[in-house]
A = this chain, B = another copy of it.
Amino acid sequence: MYILRYKLWLEKDGKAFGEGPYQLLAGILETGSLSNAAKKLNMSYSLAYNLIKKVEKNLGFPLIQSKSGGQGGGGSVLTPEALDLMEKYNGFLKESASALEKLFAKYFNS
């Protein structure tokens, strides 16, 4: 009995957006800050910050905006472009997972 494994990611000028950046953006959305998102993923703040900056450069648009002041003294919000990319990536990933599992069952576990 086999198990299916796969990785899906996007490239743009040879660079990637995939599971890692997606999880980090989802963490910022959930926790309201890059430092809390990094903690949640057991990443150092500087690693998370550099990942965001690298992906922003590859994609050609900003992913996060600083939110100064207010309760807790700031944090980060996602840009509209980041939210749009996350929504597309998530939809693509879910439908792909379903399609792959069906094909896998057809060929290997039927």
A-side interface residues toward B, CB under 8 Å? 1-12, 16-17, 88-89, 91-92, 95-96, 99-100, 103-104, 106-108
Contact = CB atoms under 8 A, between A and B. Distances in A.
A108 B6 CA distance: 19
How many identical subunits does the complex contain? Answer: 2
Given A88-B107, A103-B92, A108-B92, A3 B10 contact: yes
B103 A95 contact: yes
B92 A96 contact: no
A81 B80 CA distance: 51
Contacts of A5: 8-11, 16
Given A89-B107, A92-B103, 5 more contacts: A2-B17, A3-B11, A3-B12, A6-B6, A92-B107
